Amino acid sequence: MLEPHTVPPACVTEDAFAALMEISKRPPVVFVEGRGSWLTDQEGRKYLDFIQGWAVNCLGHCPTAIVTAIKSQAEQLLNCSPAYYNAPMIRLAELIARYSGLHRTFFTNSGAEAVEGAIKLARKWGQIHRGGAYEIVTMHHGFHGRTLAAMSASGKAQWEHLFEPKVRGFRKVRLNDIEEVERAITANTVAVMLEPIQGEAGVFVASDAFLRDLRALTRRHGILLILDEIQTGIGRTGTLFAFQHAGVEPDVMVLAKGLGGGIPLGALVAHKDACCFAHGDQGGTFNGNAFATAVGCAVLEEIAKPGFLAGVAEAGAHLAKRLTELSPQYQCAEVRGRGLLLALNLQSEIGPQVAGLALQRGLLINAPRPDTLRFMPALTVTRQEIDRMIAILGEVLKELLP
Ligand SMILES: *Cc1c(COP(=O)(O)O)cnc(C)c1O
């Protein structure tokens, strides 16, 4: 096994990055190579990656299945036009339908674009079936992406006054409060949209009971249930889709992140009864291109292999156990989440420092909020890699909380 370095990264000068628009504070490290759970920077230092592009690289860095699919598709056909069918587009839509129980897919280039599509589909559906109703009930602290409508649908407090005016038509309620959802539904409501686990918010799980109650409630009111499985889908929680834990089926689901395993690919997936776009309502230049959808096929075929999802559940249980053992040693609190989407409540606002010190010791880890660490390794992460991560995290916490 590769060992991470223990010396702090040498500073690359800030000038080197001047041609990039600054959208966040990035550490002065430049990555040049990745294999499985490991990254290498341009100085040759190794890092254990428990972020994986924000739960994107579900098979780890540069997995053989994806590299092979890319090479063979690149030699065959990259792109024709969204106005024509291509073979991988059809095959991936069939795979998604077979595994999800839903019927039809529209492919996108990102998660936010799939969410936009879901909002448009719901509004169109409202025009046809609910007398022009357009409002969508979403959750406080929810995250649906960074286009204007997706930001407006999100419940991120820091975004409340950003980029005004927002897109109208979203009503926010508390996660896991079915009565509040019911009170928010009016004649103007077309859908309820939520994440099965609020990842960006810090890994807060929508309970199975809440999802089942929502399914019953939306059926009773004749409105759509839209699940944002962009972070939770494609095996992340130990089932192919997180809704399978609750035994419910949404009317509409959006996917991205893991679906492309590291290349840009999203999907708007719907029950046939919810599909109501007329020609010209929806489209996009790159949507459903052969290159991206061939990669999506390779990802789904890997994850559907016998034993793969059981392996995710096992790795998730091991990670949860190790975090639960670590927690009381450093006055931390609960471990939240499911499968390989887990969080540790640090009890104090040291998350960014933990992430910073971890990076210096060769570990990539994310603090979605100041008091929380989030763990979203490759679904192929090994027990040894989990144990190695716990060892580094323990050293960092010891340094910060003597
Ligand atoms: C990442 C994410 C999005 C946005 O996806 P992009 O590909 O970044 O546009 C939307 N919803 C959820 C739940 C996500 O985790």
CA of 230 to the centre of ligand 1 (A): 6
pLDDT tens digits for range 272-297? 999 999 999 999 999 999 999 999 99
CA of 352 to the centre of ligand 1 (A): 21
More confident residue, 402 or 227: 227
CA of 56 to the centre of ligand 1 (A): 10
Tell me, yes or no, if 143 is annotated catalytic: yes
* Cα–Cα distance, 70 to 21 (Å, whole number): 29
C-beta of residue 208 within 8 angstroms of C-beta of residue 246: yes
CA atoms lying within 13 Å on the CB side of residue 58 = 34
Q: Is 298 a residue whose pLDDT tops 90?
A: yes
Q: Which of 50, 106, 107, 143 is catalytic?
A: 143
Q: 144 CB less than 6 Å from ligand 1?
A: yes
pLDDT tens digits for range 230-260? 999 999 999 999 999 999 999 999 999 999 9
Q: Which of 210, 241, 257, 371 is catalytic?
A: 257
Which pLDDT score, from 0 to 100, does residue 186 have? Answer: 98
pLDDT band (50, 70, 90) for residue 71: very high
Domains with residue ranges and CATH for the chain: 14-63+307-400 (3.90.1150.10), 77-303 (3.40.640.10)
Give the predicted TM-score (pTM) of the model: 0.96
CA of 231 to the centre of ligand 1 (A): 7
Q: Is 2 a residue whose pLDDT tops 60?
A: no
Q: 195 CB less than 6 Å from ligand 1?
A: yes
pLDDT band (50, 70, 90) for residue 1: very low
Kindly state the average pLDDT of the residues 328-353.
97
Tell me, yes or no, if 257 is annotated catalytic: yes
Reference 103, options 278, 250, 280; nearest CA is 250
Reference 176, options 158, 159, 201; nearest CA is 201
